Structure 1
Amino acid sequence: MRRFDGRVSLVTGGGHGIGRASGLRLAAEGSSVVLADVDLKAALEVADEVNRSGGTAIAVGCDVTDRASVDSAVELATTRFGRLDVLVNTAGGMRDGTTFLDTDDDAWDRLVDLNLTGVARCIRAALPHLLVAPDGGSVVTIGSVNGMSALGGEPYSAAKAGLQNLTVNLASRYGPHGVRFNLIAPGTIRTRVWDTQPGALERLTRLYPLGRVGQPEDIAAAVAFLASDDAAWISGVVLPVDGGLLASGPMALRTDR
């Protein structure tokens, strides 16, 4: 399928993990892709992979906690391609395992800025262009099951919960103007953050009714669906892509399944 022929997508966090997989998927379906990442080297490598495969992609260094950096990335996208149709917000992270009691104000503010305010910053920069997208604009944001249940990591989880409210409010406000907003809530995804925790993914696997943790491509498939015209009448939803984790609830902890 080439659901994005002629369209332009900006993917934050596009150099690694879910962002990388989303950029590759959108490019494979015909979108010109701008891969924005604080790790410019990684974003350049993904862009090169897209271009060598016959797609069109460019990379830009972007720190979502810095307004000027975000504005510059959006300006590059629209200057290079003349339009912006899709914004995918994947940049974020938990960073450390500090307990709630030991989380000082500065650490809390950094995590909320990265995971919530940074998304709002990107949307504000992109929105004027999405509002005039010829086929309507679409914003897909990556949240987390942490924003929907008690799974620890309080500053990260609170920020991810905030993304849900941001999404539904913007979907209501800008739907009449042709822009859709949706949120994906992934479960555990096999990305580089687990590289320093040997055996953790294997232990977590037992919590998932579908018998495995997720791959970045699982989330990228949901991103492509929600950003496409196949979801033209879907806005303001929170879509768990979690291998059945939230549906299982307390059952996930049983050992006799």
Structure 2
Amino acid sequence: MRFDDRVAVVSGGANGIGWATAERLLDEGARVAVLDREPHAAASQLEKRAVVDASTSERTAVFECDVTDPASVDDAVAAVLDRFGRIDVVASVAGGDNAVDDGLDEEHWNAIVSLNLHGPVRLIRACREALIASKGSIVMVGSVNGVAAYGEPAYAAAKAGLTLLAKNLAVELGPAGVRINVVAPGTVRTRVWDHQGGPDALSPLYPLGRVGEPADIAAAIAFLASDDASWITGVTLPVDGGSLAGPLATMSRLLPN
């Protein structure tokens, strides 16, 4: 129960990694504000959970939020503070790509960077004073695409930007007691793979022999947000089944002799 008496904000919390993170934080005692541009989907998830955990209804709230819209973010965070009175943890999960790599196309680039880099900045900006008051913690979801060349340059550049954002804000906000870190997932079984035949075909590329599950990433987020990581700030933690540890070695095992 590492998050007893704490309030956590999870953006992109209706599905995938975001929902797994909301559940993990609930399991560890937090009150959780789920922010998503699909509030009905988030509410449905919480209703299903409430069937087996009646306290869910008392400890959660859903707020419509589009992280590409500054006013939407500001309104959602104001509503969170009105409902819960404080913010101790921010899990910035909302992000993604449209699965179409349009290279340096202007419209594509702006949309992807707005969602994956500017979106977390908007959320942190809106939560900043509340986090300083609580000496809170921020965890942003990056990607291995932001650490090595896996393609999709707009998405990769946006996710890479989170690493330097975290380092700079760690220095700026550290004296106020606020920590900020990034998790960098590899391939994770989320709905983005629904129209691509599923992610399991990529399992042989991972030294641990499988792709990730949303709960794998949620566990890392919970660790970095908790007091167990109280002396960790400004880092990017790969949660990737070993793909960054030895991609060439992994690939060589798949090549014909």
TM-score between the two structures when normalised by the length of structure 1: 0.95
Contact 1:51–1:57, Cα closer than 8 Å, also in 2: no
For residue 78 of structure 2, what is the aligned residue in structure 1? 75
For residue 190 of structure 2, what is the aligned residue in structure 1? 191
Letter in 1 for 2:209: G
2:199 match: secondary structure: helix
> Is structure 2 residue 16 aligned with structure 1 residue 17?
yes
Contact 1:14–1:22, Cα closer than 8 Å, also in 2: yes
Contact 2:116–2:158, Cα closer than 8 Å, also in 1: yes
The 2-side partners of 1:192 and 1:31 are apart by 26
Percent sequence identity is 50
Contact 1:13–1:35, Cα closer than 8 Å, also in 2: yes
Say how many residue pairs are matched.
251
For residue 215 of structure 2, what is the aligned residue in structure 1? 217
Letter in 1 for 2:13: G
For residue 230 of structure 2, what is the aligned residue in structure 1? 232
Once the two structures are TM-superposed, the CA of residue 107 in structure 1 deviates from its matched residue by: 1.3
Runs of 4+ in 1 over 3 A off after TM superposition: 49-52
2:182 match: secondary structure: strand
2:133 match: secondary structure: coil
Contact 2:102–2:108, Cα closer than 8 Å, also in 1: no
For residue 123 of structure 2, what is the aligned residue in structure 1? 122
- After superposition, the C-alpha distances for 1:183-239 in whole angstroms (9 at most, x for unaligned) are 0000000000000011x5222101101010000000000011111111111111110
TM-score between the two structures when normalised by the length of structure 2: 0.95
Q: 1:96 to 1:202 in 2, by over 3 A?
A: closer
Contact 1:35–1:47, Cα closer than 8 Å, also in 2: no
> Is structure 2 residue 88 aligned with structure 1 residue 85?
yes
Bigger shift: residues 183-192 or 66-75 = 66-75
Once the two structures are TM-superposed, the CA of residue 48 in structure 1 deviates from its matched residue by: 2.4
The 1-side partners of 2:212 and 2:30 are apart by 24
Once the two structures are TM-superposed, the CA of residue 50 in structure 1 deviates from its matched residue by: 4.4
Q: Which runs of 5+ in 1 are unaligned?
A: none
The 1-side partners of 2:45 and 2:168 are apart by 33
2:73 match: secondary structure: helix
Once the two structures are TM-superposed, the CA of residue 47 in structure 1 deviates from its matched residue by: 2.7
2:233 match: secondary structure: coil
For residue 106 of structure 2, what is the aligned residue in structure 1? 105
> Is structure 2 residue 147 aligned with structure 1 residue 148?
yes
2:196 match: secondary structure: coil
For residue 245 of structure 1, what is the aligned residue in structure 2? 243
For residue 31 of structure 1, what is the aligned residue in structure 2? 30
Contact 1:48–1:57, Cα closer than 8 Å, also in 2: no
Q: What is the aligned-residue RMSD (CA, Å)?
A: 1.2
Once the two structures are TM-superposed, the CA of residue 114 in structure 1 deviates from its matched residue by: 0.3
